[in-house]
Chains A and B, each alone.
Chain A
Amino acid sequence: MTRNHPSTRPERRKPAGATAMRLVVPLQGVVQGRGGLILGSLIPCALFYFLQFYMKRHRSPKPSSDPPSPSTSSSNLPELTRTSSRSSLSTRGSFGPARVSTRASSIAKQTDSLYYVGLDKVKEDPYHRTDNPDGIIQLGLSENSLCLDLIEKWVLENLTDSIMGTNGGDLSISGIAMYQPFDGMMELKVAMAGFMSQVMGQRVSFDPSQIILTAGATPAVEILSFCLADHGNAFLVPTPYYPGFDRDVRLRTGVELIPVHCRSSDNFIVSISALDQAFNQTRKRGLKVRGILISNPANPVGNILPRETIYDLLDFAREKNIHIISDEIYGGCTYGSEEFISMAEILDSEDFDKSRVHIVYGLSKDLSLPGFRVGVIYSYNESVLAAAKKLTRFSSISALTQRLLVPMLSDTKFIQEYIETNRRRIKKLCNSFVAGLKQLGIKCADSNAGLYCWADMSELIPSYSEKGELELWDKLLNIAKINVTPGSACHCIEPGWFRCCFTTLAQEDIPVVIERIRRVAETSKSSS
C-alpha cells in the first residue's frame, strides 16, 4: 500500500479526496505505525463514499410530479423534464411498480389555465334565453355559429348525393371506407386550395401540392413544431397569444415558447426590437430559437398584421435563419376596413425566402366546422412537406368528412355567399357589442378580424396587477355570470385586458351581457 502524497495530488483530486488526505497525514502522526496507516486510509475512504452518496442523493433528477401554483402570467404547464432513464436506472429500478410516464403524470395533474376553467364552468350552467336565463353566458369560446344555418341548408340539399352515389364507382362506400392517403385526398386538397384563395379575397392562389391536411389546426401546429424544432429548442411568440398554443406546441414536443411582449401603445403589434431582444435573451439562456409563431389575424387581439410588419418579420427570420409559422385560421373572419394579407400573398409577389414560411389554416373558424376536424399545413419547403406528410399518419381527417367537404368547398357560389354573409353578421354583432361596452366606458383594441373583441377593463380592476385582473375575472364569472378570457391566460403583459367572443350570441343577448357587466362595473368602480 503506497502512501499518498498530498503535495503532488490535491489539485487533481475531487474535494472529498483532498479533504481526506488532509486527515491522513495528521492521523498518521497521531496513531503511530500501521494502525495509523490503516485508520488514515479507512477514514478518508469512508468520508469519500459518504460524500459521493450525499451528492448523488441531491443530484438525481426529480420527476416533476408537483403541479406549479396556478400562476397564469407564465404558462400553466410545468417544465417537462426529460428524465434519462439510463442515468437514473439504479435509483428507480426497484422502487415500486412501473408508473406512467413523467409526461402523463404532469399532464393529468396540471391545474388548467383559467381559459379552460371558465369553459368548464359554463358547461355546468349554460345560459339559455328562455330555459335558463340566469345561466352563465359564454364569451370565452371563439366559435362562430352565425352562419351555420347556411351550411346546414347546403348539407341538407346536397349531402346524400355527395356521400352515397347511387351507382357505385367513385362514390361507393369502398371509396371512403378504405385507407386513404394520410395527408388527405387530392380532391380535397384541390378544393381546399380554391377555398383558401376565395376566403382571402382571391388575392393569392394556393398550390394543392403544397397542402397537407390534418385532423384540425391543433395537430397542424404540433406537427410543424416536431418538424422544425428539437426537444429543448424554442419558438418566439408575440403576446398576448392564444392559450391553446401552450398545449399545441409544448405538450409533447418539448419545445419552449418564449413570449415577446407587445404593448397597447402599439396596438399589440410586435416590434422587431422586442423580437431581437427576446432572441438574444433566449440565446443567453442556452436555448436555440428555431422559429417565430404568429397568429394573423391575431388571437386574442383581432388585428391584422400590417404589410410592413410582415416584411420586417421575414427579414428578421432570414437574418436569424429561423422559421415562421403563421396561423391564419381567422383569415376569412375579417369584417373591418383593412384587408387581410396572407403570408402567401407576400411570398407570391415579393422576393423573400419561401422555404422558412409555413402557414396553418383550418375550417373551424371560417366555416364553423370545428367538430369535423379539418386543418391545413401549407408550406413552401419540400422537406417539411415530406416530414409533415408522414406525421399525418397520426392525425388524418375522416374520409367520410373529406367526401362531404369536397363538393361544399368547390361550390364557389355557395362559398361566396357564405363568406359575405358571415362577414356582414360578424360586423353587425361586433359593432353592437363594442358600442355596448363603450357605453360602460370600456374601450376595445382596434380590431378588424376574429370572432371576439379585446376589451380594456383595467379601470375596473381593484389593483393594476394580475391579481386584480383575476379578481375581476372571478366576479364576472360568478356574479355577472359571463365567461370571458382574462389577458393573463393569454400571457398579456398589461393587466386588465379581456377577450370577449361575441359570435355565439344572438343580437338580443347583447343587452343582457352589457347589463350584467354594468352591474359588476358599478360595484367595481365604487369600491376602488
Chain B
Amino acid sequence: MLSRKASCDAHGQDSSYFLGWQAYENNPYHQVDNPSGIIQMGLAENQLSFDLLESWLASNPDAVGMKRNGESVFKELALFQDYHGLPAFKNELVKLMSKIRGDKAKFDPKKLVLTAGATSANETLMFCLADPGEAFLLPTPYYPGFDRDLKWRPDVEIVPIHCSSSNGFRITMPALEEAYERAQRLNLKVKGVLVTNPSNPLGTTLTRDELNHLITFAIAKRIHIMSDEIYSGTVFDSPRFISITEAVMDRNLEDTDLWSRIHIVYSLSKDLGLPGFRVGMIYSNNETVVAAATKMSSFGLISSQTQFLLANMLADKKFTCKYMKENGKRLKKRMEMLVSGLKMAGVRCLKSNAGLFCWVDMRHLLVSNTFEAEKELWKKIIFEVGLNISPGSSCHCTEPGWFRVCFANMSEDTLQVSLRRIKAFVESNISGCSQQQQRRGSIIGKWVSKLSSSDPEPDR
C-alpha cells in the first residue's frame, strides 16, 4: 500500500552507523544513574559552549521575547512566511560566513537560500543539480547521512573517490580520474563532486593542493563543485580554513563558467551548537539554482521566531567573536585530551585541525585486515567497552580499522571515563586477557537481542 520510496531502505537508517545509536539509546551512560552504560561518542554535536549561549539569551530578553527596541514584533513574525527569508537574518549570515573565511570573500544575501537544517540544504541542492539516475563523486570516507540526502528522494547515485591512509586520506588527481572513469563504466553521468570541508569524519581542512585538484578537475569535466562547509567555524588549529570560494578566486576564475557551478552548504548546527533550531542554507552563484531552491525551501522553512532571535545574536559582533574564539579553544583542548588519552593506550589518530571528532586508527587491533574484523571490533567496543563510536565502513572507508570518535558532546569527566575504558580494553586485548569480556559479558546478551528487534533511531 505504500510507495517504493517509503518501503525501500535508501534512507540508510539501517546501516551500522545508526544501529550503534540504538544500542546507546537502550543503555545510555549516566555518571550517577548508570555508570556502566554506553557512552555516546557517535554524535557530532557541540555541547561545549552552551554556557556562552545561555548568558547571551539571559542578557537579551528582547530578542527572546520577539521585541525590537522594546516594541513587540510578534504579529509581524507570526505572519512572516516569505521563502526569501528574513532580510536581517540573511544579512547577518553572509557576514558570519565572510568572517569565518577570514574576510577573503564577500557573500551576497540574494544568493543565500535558507532551509531547515543542512540536511534539507544538501537534499534540496541535489534536487537542483542532478536528475534521477545521475551521479555525484564523493571522496571517502564520507558522512553516512549523504547516502540518505542524495539517494533517497533525489535518486542521485554516489560514486566514491577512494582516498587512503597512505597520504592522510587526501584527495588526489588520479583518485578523481579513477572515480570518474568508474562512473563512466557504470554508465552514470557525473554532475559534480561533493566535498565536506572541513571533512567529516576526518576532522581536517582541505589543503590548497586538494582544492586546486578539484577546481582543475571540475573545469576539465565541466561539472559542479558542492562544498559542505558546515564545520568551517570549528577550525581550532592551523592550517587555516580555505573555502572553495577563496580557492577559485585565487585562480582568478570568477568570470568563468566554473563560478556558476560552485555551491556551498552551511548551517549553525555545528559552529554555534544549535542543531535543534534547524538552521541551514545554500549559497550558490547560479541564478537558476537559487530560484529553484528558494521555491523548494517551502518544504523546510526556518521558523521566523528562530530567524529573528539569531539575527539579533549574530548582529552582536562582540558576542560572536568571543564565542568563536572561546569555542575554538575549548574544542582544541578537548581534541588534545582525546588524542593524548588514546596515545597512552597506544592508539593513534589522524592529525586534525577542525570538527567535533577524531579519525582514529585501530587497524592494529583487528584480528584480520577485513571489514568483518572491523565489525567484530566495533561490536566489542560497543558492548564490552561501552562506547558508541562510528566504524569506518559506515563512512564508506576503503580501509578497515578506522573509527570516528566524537569528543564535543560530553563532559570532561565522561571523556576521561571513556579513555580509561579504552586503555583497559587495549591492554587486555594485547595481553590476551579475558577479564574485560567477563565483566561486560552480561551486557552483550541483553543488548544484542534488543538490537535485533527494535527500529533504529534516526541519525544526528
CB pair A371 B304 closer than 8 Å: yes
CB pair A104 B129 closer than 8 Å: yes
| B72 close to chain A: CB less than 8 A | yes
The listed residue (A145, A152, A251) touching B72 by CB distance below 8 A is A152
| A245 close to chain B: CB less than 8 A | no
CB contact under 8 A between A159 and B298, given known A104-B127, A400-B306: no
The listed residue (B221, B292, B300, B460) touching A107 by CB distance below 8 A is B292
| A332 close to chain B: CB less than 8 A | no
Residues of chain A lying within 8 A (CB to CB) of residue B277: 176-177, 398-400
CB pair B75 A390 closer than 8 Å: no
| B192 close to chain A: CB less than 8 A | yes
Residues of chain A lying within 8 A (CB to CB) of residue B292: 100, 103-105, 107-108
Residues of chain A lying within 8 A (CB to CB) of residue B221: 98
The listed residue (B7, B66, B278) touching A397 by CB distance below 8 A is B278
Residues of chain A lying within 8 A (CB to CB) of residue B278: 215, 396-399
CB pair A355 B1 closer than 8 Å: yes
| A155 close to chain B: CB less than 8 A | yes
**Nearest neighbor of A355 in chain B, beta-carbon distance:** B1
Interface residue count on the B side (C-beta < 8 Å): 86
CB pair A398 B78 closer than 8 Å: no
CB pair A384 B276 closer than 8 Å: no
CB distance from B125 to the nearest CB of A (A): 10
CB pair B276 A247 closer than 8 Å: no
**Nearest neighbor of A223 in chain B, beta-carbon distance:** B299
CB pair A107 B78 closer than 8 Å: no
Residues of chain B lying within 8 A (CB to CB) of residue A473: none
State in angstroms the CA–CA spacing of A357 and B189 once bound together. Answer: 40
State in angstroms the CA–CA spacing of A85 and B302 once bound together. Answer: 34
CB pair B116 A174 closer than 8 Å: no
Residues of chain B lying within 8 A (CB to CB) of residue A58: none
CB pair A173 B131 closer than 8 Å: no
Interface 1/0 per residue, B116-130 and A, CB below 8 Å? 110110010001111
Residues of chain B lying within 8 A (CB to CB) of residue A84: 132-133
Interface residue count on the A side (C-beta < 8 Å): 87
CB pair A173 B303 closer than 8 Å: no
The listed residue (A85, A164, A247) touching B298 by CB distance below 8 A is A247
State in angstroms the CA–CA spacing of A105 and B415 once bound together. Answer: 49
Best-surrounded residue of A83, A182, A381, A398 (most CB of chain B within 10 A): A398
State in angstroms the CA–CA spacing of A76 and B292 once bound together. Answer: 15
Residues of chain A lying within 8 A (CB to CB) of residue B304: 371-373
| A172 close to chain B: CB less than 8 A | yes
The listed residue (A178, A226, A387) touching B276 by CB distance below 8 A is A178
| A281 close to chain B: CB less than 8 A | no
| B148 close to chain A: CB less than 8 A | yes
CB contact under 8 A between A164 and B296, given known A98-B222, A372-B304, A400-B303: no
CB distance from B18 to the nearest CB of A (A): 11
State in angstroms the CA–CA spacing of A470 and B75 once bound together. Answer: 33
Interface 1/0 per residue, A230-256 and B, CB below 8 Å? 110100000000000001100110000
**Nearest neighbor of A88 in chain B, beta-carbon distance:** B189
| B319 close to chain A: CB less than 8 A | no
**Nearest neighbor of B52 in chain A, beta-carbon distance:** A173
**Nearest neighbor of A363 in chain B, beta-carbon distance:** B78
Of the stretches B56-64, B104-112, B387-395, the one at the interface is B56-64
State in angstroms the CA–CA spacing of A371 and B53 once bound together. Answer: 24
CB pair B1 A98 closer than 8 Å: no
Residues of chain B lying within 8 A (CB to CB) of residue A151: 74, 78
The listed residue (B128, B223, B295) touching A101 by CB distance below 8 A is B128
CB pair B275 A178 closer than 8 Å: yes
Interface 1/0 per residue, B173-211 and A, CB below 8 Å? 000000000000001111110000000000000000000
CB pair A400 B305 closer than 8 Å: yes
| A219 close to chain B: CB less than 8 A | yes
Interface 1/0 per residue, A487-512 and B, CB below 8 Å? 00000000000000000000000000
CB contact under 8 A between A370 and B78, given known A160-B64, A230-B3, A400-B276: yes
State in angstroms the CA–CA spacing of A404 and B257 once bound together. Answer: 46
Of the stretches A89-97, A199-207, A423-431, A441-449, the one at the interface is A89-97
The listed residue (B64, B65, B224) touching A98 by CB distance below 8 A is B224
| A60 close to chain B: CB less than 8 A | no
| A368 close to chain B: CB less than 8 A | yes
CB distance from B410 to the nearest CB of A (A): 12
Interface 1/0 per residue, B45-88 and A, CB below 8 Å? 10100100110011001001110000010110111110000000
CB contact under 8 A between A219 and B6, given known A104-B127, A172-B54, A178-B276: no
| B301 close to chain A: CB less than 8 A | yes
| B458 close to chain A: CB less than 8 A | yes
CB pair A373 B302 closer than 8 Å: yes
CB contact under 8 A between A251 and B295, given known A173-B54, A383-B1: yes
**Nearest neighbor of B306 in chain A, beta-carbon distance:** A398
| A218 close to chain B: CB less than 8 A | yes
CB pair A216 B79 closer than 8 Å: no
Residues of chain A lying within 8 A (CB to CB) of residue B133: 84-86
CB pair A105 B288 closer than 8 Å: yes
State in angstroms the CA–CA spacing of A127 and B277 once bound together. Answer: 35
CB contact under 8 A between A107 and B291, given known A155-B74, A398-B276, A401-B306: yes
Q: List 21 A-B contacts (CB under 8 A).
A: A86-B189, A97-B261, A98-B192, A101-B127, A103-B292, A148-B75, A173-B57, A179-B460, A227-B2, A227-B3, A252-B153, A368-B78, A368-B79, A373-B301, A393-B458, A393-B459, A394-B299, A396-B278, A399-B277, A400-B276, A401-B306
3 nearest A-B pairs in the assembled complex, by CB-CB distance: A399-B276, A97-B222, A371-B304
Q: Given A98-B129, A384-B6, 12 other A-B contacts at CB below 8 A?
A: A107-B296, A148-B79, A149-B75, A152-B72, A172-B50, A174-B47, A371-B80, A373-B302, A386-B455, A394-B120, A395-B120, A400-B306
